[in-house]
Amino acid sequence: MPGNKRPIRVAVIGGGCASMTTAFELTRPERGGQYDVTVYQMGWRLGGKGASGRGPNDRIEEHGLHLWMGFYENAFRLMRDCYDELPADPARRFTHWQHAFTPAPDVAVANRMPNGDWEFWRAHFPAGRGLPGDPLDEGSPFTVRGYLRQSALLIGELLRSAQGVEQARGVPTPETLLRYGQLAGAAALFEASDTLRQAIDAWLPQMLQGPSVVLVRLIESFAAAARRQLETIVAGDGELRRIWHVIDLILAILRGAALNGMALDARGFDAINAYDWREWLRMNGASEESLDSGFMRGIYDLAFAFEDGDVEKPRLAAGVALRGAMRMFFTYRGSLFWRMSAGMGDVVFSPLYEVLKQRGVKFEFFHRLRDVRLAPARDGETPYVDSLEFDVQAKVKGGGEYQPLVDVRGVPSWPSVPDYSQLLQGAKLAREGRAFEAHHEQRRAGTKTLRVGADFDFVVLGVSIGAIPHVASQLVERDARWAAMVRHVKSVPTQAMQVWLGESMGQLGWPHPPSNVSGFVEPFDTWADMGHLIPEENWNGRVESIAYFCSVLPDVEPPDGELTEQFVREQRDLVRENAVRFLDRDIGVLWPKAVNARGFRWPLLVAPAGIKGGSGKKRFDSQYWSANVNPSDRYVLSLPGSLEYRLSPLDLCFDNLTIAGDWTATGLDTGCIESAVMSGRLAAHALSHFPPLEDIVGYDHP
């Protein structure tokens, strides 16, 4: 860029993962200061759905449960680069990305047996080769053919593990000897699974010019033999039955891929996105028992994949689910899951903020977008953004810059409430209880209008899909693609709670290593042992365990369609009722020693300093819970038939605007951190042609 040209001014709206990624990519040092970036953020902190804050006793308060997966190549590369660039500070404790993220290889799914009892299928996943964010080797990323080959190999491994289960049972009884003899007699299945793998490895390109009769017959023959050999063996044996469920599902995937000619379809896995995941598997031979297994329910739970928040309406696009499962199990590196060593705000958004500040990025907190306005339509002219209108929610004393971070024993963190001492009339704002992050909050200290040419050249719209009708109605009205996207790409509210307990998980009766558990009972089907956070908080030995729970929340239309303060309060009260009932009625399955004949032992809950603990169920009021009903807090769904309506950051429907968020078309298309980071990188490419598309891992994968 010639030295006499001014930098290109970019207004980034929102401070979530996608927006921060775009700002990070546009301002990399190698860009030579070509872009002058300003981030406009509602309220006092960055993070979007990933925002966290420090509350009483420095406890970490999250929007929900956030875990990173080992296939998040783009997200880990972002954070690795960010930590490498952090300003030197001898007081900082997390100076390397591996201080901030640690492996979490233990996973469990809950399964309800026919007699009503619960069982848990636990797995410890071995370390994957390399670390997420390492350069990819020539064998990566996988193709459809590669994924299917890995699936066939997994069948053989699962059959061998079934034999291992019987061998590990100790002193044999006549019954176990008979069952083991039957499994040993299944050696032909091992040979058949290897033949299946060889067919995929060697013949697939020729077989899949169209629907492959030969390969389908091979898969169906193997499936029939496996069912005859295994179904009677595993009946009544929980561990063997769970292994069979996975084999059955993999066979359905292989059969469907062969019938659909998926390996040579340019759409890859997207070719089956019109179907629900269970629907497609059922069409391709999966049994009803496998489809209702804890393994399958866990997938839907992790994706909050329930239309309208109704657990009786599980809906997840088959291609998105298949791609996600293949990436999750076959391409993870280091660990299947990674947990953060503090809150997501602490280990993700604080470092991003500090690095971006060091690069010269400006942050305007307490700026709530009200409207994106287009220039009047002219024939032959591509529409463009003419102005951005904001409510200024609060002003900083002396006209200075708001300083958002607090230090928590060497960890720069975001507080759970703003620092009112920095704000004009701060004491008054605090007394009034201004809800700066709430959709219903209308009070403001002023307004601001930014104009193209004078204040910005390009806009990165990084708000969530749920907020688009409220802040960008002109875009929806002007372009049919935007209208279709808003109509078809749906989101759902979620609920979450965190509890701090005075006894360890072992004392509560959970005998296993710290785990992430999915597929449990509603209203909180997913939970994680978060005891590793205790040293990061300030409890003086009073807390022995921490647990996070989350689930979908039924989507209720507010009265008159208005998300009022009263409605939000009612939804929050509903989550509290759900949490209390769950602890009293259901937690004994997970933690049998946390309950007595009357229900949950409420004195277990540790109240922070300055908060009255209360007695009985009232003690729950000292814990933390959230009803994520604000438009920007809702989880974006991947419903069957909806993916084709997603716009990509590369689709420049308006001349000077791109979009960023996990609701856009990214090549992964799920509501997760990796999708958001991919979207942010695509948005940066849309404006600058950097990073190269081939460097965005997964963008062009099947």
- Local confidence band at 174 (pLDDT 50, 70, 90 cut-offs): very low
Identity of the highest mean pLDDT range in 129-143, 225-239, 525-539: 525-539
Q: What is the pLDDT of residue 305?
A: 97
> 302: closest CA among 65, 523, 583?
65
The model's pLDDT over 603-661, given as tens digits with 9 standing for 90+, comes to: 999 999 888 878 899 999 999 999 999 999 999 999 999 999 999 999 999 999 999 99
Q: Are 71 and 328 in contact (CB under 8 A)?
A: yes
Q: Are 337 and 70 in contact (CB under 8 A)?
A: yes
Q: Residue range 381-400: average pLDDT?
A: 96
Q: What is the pLDDT of residue 265?
A: 79
Q: Residue range 377-386: average pLDDT?
A: 93
- Local confidence band at 1 (pLDDT 50, 70, 90 cut-offs): very low
Supply the angle between the helices 144-167 and 174-184 in degrees, to the nearest 10.
150
- What torsion do the CA atoms of 629, 630, 635, 637 make, to the nearest 10 degrees? 90
DSSP collapsed to 3 states, 252-297: HHHHHHHHHCHHHCCCHHHHHCCCEHHHHHHHCCCCHHHHCCHHHH
The model's pLDDT over 189-239, given as tens digits with 9 standing for 90+, comes to: 445 555 555 555 555 555 445 555 666 676 677 667 666 655 655 555 566
Supply the pTM of this predicted model. 0.93
Higher pLDDT, 200 or 385: 385
Q: Are 647 and 44 in contact (CB under 8 A)?
A: no
Q: What is the pLDDT of residue 173?
A: 42
DSSP lists the bridge partners of residue 447 as: 391
Across 483-562, the runs of DSSP E, i.e. the strands, are 491-492, 494-501, 516-518, 526-529, 545-552
Q: Residue range 350-368: average pLDDT?
A: 98
**Within a 10 A sphere around the Cβ of 443, how many other Cβ atoms?**
12
Strand 337-340, strand 68-69: pairing:
antiparallel
- What percentage of the chain carries pLDDT values higher than 90? 72
294: its two tokens: 């804890």
Torsion sign, CA atoms 342, 345, 350, 355: positive
The chain-wide mean pLDDT, for the chain, equals 89
